[in-house]
Amino acid sequence: MSTVIKGGTVVTADLSYAADVRIEGGRITEIGPDLKGDTVLDATGCYVMPGGIDPHTHLEMPFMGTYSADDFESGTRAALSGGTTMVVDFALPAPGQGLLDALKMWDNKAGRANCDYSYHMAVTWWGEQVFDEMKPVIEDRGINTFKHFMAYKGALMVNDDEMFASFNRLAELGGIAMVHAENGDVVAELTAKLLAAGNTGPEAHAYSRPAQVEGEATNRAIMIADMAGVPLYVVHVSSEDAHEAIRRARSLGKRVWGEPLIQHLTLDESEYFHPDWDHAARRVMSPPFRNKKHQDSLWAGLMSGSLSVVATDHCAFTTEQKRYGVGDFSKIPNGTGGLEDRMPMLWTHGVATGRLTPNEFVAVTSTNIAKVLNCYPRKGAILVGADADIVVWDPEKEKTITAGAQQSAIDYNVFEGHKVKGLPRFTLTRGHVAVHDGEIRTKEGHGEFVKRPGNGTVNRALSTWKELTAPRPVERTGIPATGV
Ligand code: URP
Ligand code: ZN
Ligand code: ZN
Ligand code: ZN
């Protein structure tokens, strides 16, 4: 059985052209004019793009005394509804738990996924077992990205010496280091001080995590990665301070990528000053939403290429869960949703405003991350042989975002009331039409794990360069005898 997407304009990260796309056995088998197939999807007036890849989700994650509310079923259903066809979730070992053991827990949850998925491995503590298991995680499991939390002191945070040891190991094994960059020690002190002074509301969450705290940690992570000779990916870049560090590092030839979130690009800190406690608490995440200066910086980074990828950090908690923090903002579970809204919000605020071209949109929502993660061109491409993860995008289709109509399991949406123009007509996950003109036809369990081998091209280039420029002893002609 074959499917043909007919009459659309293929839009990739490189170019746009009129062509039909034929799919068989879950893969793209032909691209060209006048193709025939058993099923025809009418793409007239639409762009045929690689499905979105969201490289940053937390589905059913144990965190801050509870579990994030969207699991792999509802989370990937939300993803497909918004044109995203692959998610990369963080497998988080509990303190003292082995990496391989944590992966088993994630495997049990992820079996329900409606679209393909992969994992990043989190390094939440350091020891011989973690050092040893990093090798099979990369070589046997095909997980080449390892996240380090520089914040959440007393829970997930790792210190500089642990991070340096882990980064060195990654350099050796051909992995990529990731960081949540905030100075956890300073955040902990500021939190205690704010609470002691009676600042208990959700706005104090933002006061406790100023942009400087993020900028400092980003600079530190870049330095440590440079010393270890490992590529670095900075998640949820929210501020000019962090972006400036990344921009500078890249201009110096360092291998660093930055990932802003759709929330930080489109929502600002005024959300925390809303008189309704629930409204503000629902938007508590780390780093917090910032002011226009920072938002402009993030947009400029996407436009100029100093920032590479737009993600969501989808970590959805219900209002009831957010209320664990009434009277103490530090107990509000950190996280916001966005899986269903990332693509339409970025199109509306990016492409429709002229800040991004349609090709740049494809780059930052799909192709760039597929390359970084080493799963391109199986993912992130409209090419013969690639997986048929495709979104047929109707630039004229409009809606107003509302929690009542969303796929996510939570009872609100941080983008409530935002009008978006540009939505999927069809979303295909390995050939299966999961979204058909507004109708959700997802198949629970259809998703497969995507292996991503280590030692990608950037790793190889960086290790070659580091080897070539490594400190070497000077060969001298005369050495004085010691003690004379
Ligand atoms: O507030 C956030 N970002 N929650 C999810 C965990 C993390 O830090 O990525
Ligand atoms: Zn984080
Ligand atoms: Zn996260
Ligand atoms: Zn809007």
In angstroms, the CA 56 to CA 85 distance is 13
Compute the distance from residue 324 Cα to the ligand 2 centre, in Å. Answer: 20
Name every residue whose Cβ is closer than 8 Å to that of residue 197 and which is 6 or more positions away in sequence: none
What is residue 481's predicted lDDT score, i.e. its pLDDT? 86
114 and 443 Cβ atoms separated by less than 8 Å:
yes
Q: Would you give the end-to-end CA distance of the chain in angstroms?
A: 87
Helix (H) or strand (E) holding 226: helix 211-228
In angstroms, the CA 44 to CA 392 distance is 10
For the beta carbon of residue 469, count every other beta carbon within 10 angstroms.
9
List the domain boundaries for the chain.
50-417+450-462
Per-residue pLDDT of 80-138, as tens digits, reads: 999 999 999 999 999 899 999 999 999 999 999 999 999 999 999 999 999 999 999 99
Strands (E), 68-174: 84-91, 116-123, 145-149
Residue 84 Cβ < 6 Å to ligand 1: no
Tokens 């705290």 appear where? 213
In angstroms, the CA 137 to CA 71 distance is 23
* 249-268 mean pLDDT: 98
Given CATH 3.20.20.140, say whether it is the number of domain 50-417+450-462. Answer: yes
- Per-residue pLDDT for 285 more than 80? yes
Residue 51 Cβ < 6 Å to ligand 1: no
Question: 256-258 and 39-42 as β-strands: parallel, antiparallel, unpaired?
Answer: unpaired
Per-residue pLDDT of 72-89, as tens digits, reads: 999 999 999 999 999 999
Peptide bond into 377 cis (omega under 30): yes
In the predicted model, what is the mean pLDDT of the chain?
A: 98
Inter-CA distances, 302 with 100, 295, 298, 365, Å: 35, 11, 6, 11
Exposed/middle/buried for residue 14 (C-beta within 10 Å: 0-12, 13-18, 19+): exposed
DSSP of 37-49, one letter per residue?
-SEEEE-TT-EEE
Compute the distance from residue 180 Cα to the ligand 1 centre, in Å. Answer: 8
The candidate with the shortest Cα–Cα distance to 408, out of 338, 350, 483, 335, is 338
- Per-residue pLDDT for 348 more than 70? yes
Backbone angles phi, psi at 239, to 5 degrees: -135, 160
- Per-residue pLDDT for 150 more than 70? yes
Residue 214 Cβ < 6 Å to ligand 1: no
Residue 313 Cβ < 6 Å to ligand 1: yes
> Closest residue (by CA) to atom 2 of ligand 1?
335
In angstroms, the CA 401 to CA 414 distance is 9
* 38-53 mean pLDDT: 98
Per-residue pLDDT of 188-216, as tens digits, reads: 999 999 999 999 999 999 999 999 999 99
Question: 256-258 and 232-234 as β-strands: parallel, antiparallel, unpaired?
Answer: parallel
Name every residue whose Cβ is closer than 8 Å to that of residue 221 and which is 6 or more positions away in sequence: 148, 150, 163, 177, 179, 181, 232, 234
Helix (H) or strand (E) holding 218: helix 211-228
Residues above pLDDT 90, as percent of the chain: 98
What is residue 484's predicted lDDT score, i.e. its pLDDT? 56
ipTM rounded to 2 decimals = 0.95
Question: 45: which 2 tokens?
Answer: 């007036």
* 414-424 mean pLDDT: 98
pTM greater than 0.90 (yes/no): yes
Peptide bond into 471 cis (omega under 30): no
The candidate with the shortest Cα–Cα distance to 85, out of 343, 317, 374, is 343
Backbone angles phi, psi at 64, to 5 degrees: 50, 45
What is residue 482's predicted lDDT score, i.e. its pLDDT? 83
For the beta carbon of residue 416, count every other beta carbon within 10 angstroms.
14
DSSP of 301-326, one letter per residue?
HHHHTSS---B--B----HHHHGGGT
* 395-399 mean pLDDT: 98
Identify which of 56, 58, 205, 262 to mutate to test ligand 1's pocket (most ligand atoms within 8 A of the CB). Answer: 58
* 466-474 mean pLDDT: 96
How large is the C-alpha radius of gyration of the chain?
A: 23
> Closest residue (by CA) to atom 8 of ligand 1?
286
User: From the centroid of its chain, how far is CA 455?
Assistant: 20
Compute the distance from residue 423 Cα to the ligand 1 centre, in Å. Answer: 27
Longest dimension (CA), the chain: 90
Strands (E), 356-468: 390-400, 419-429, 432-436, 439-440
In angstroms, the CA 449 to CA 434 distance is 18
Residues above pLDDT 70, as percent of the chain: 100
In angstroms, the CA 33 to CA 81 distance is 28
Name the pLDDT band for 233 (thresholds 50, 70, 90): very high
Per-residue pLDDT of 370-389, as tens digits, reads: 999 999 999 999 999 999 99
Question: 326: which 2 tokens?
Answer: 């009434």
In angstroms, the CA 435 to CA 391 distance is 9
Compute the distance from residue 339 Cα to the ligand 1 centre, in Å. Answer: 14
Identify which of 66, 286, 312, 329 to mutate to test ligand 1's pocket (most ligand atoms within 8 A of the CB). Answer: 286
Helix (H) or strand (E) holding 194: helix 184-196
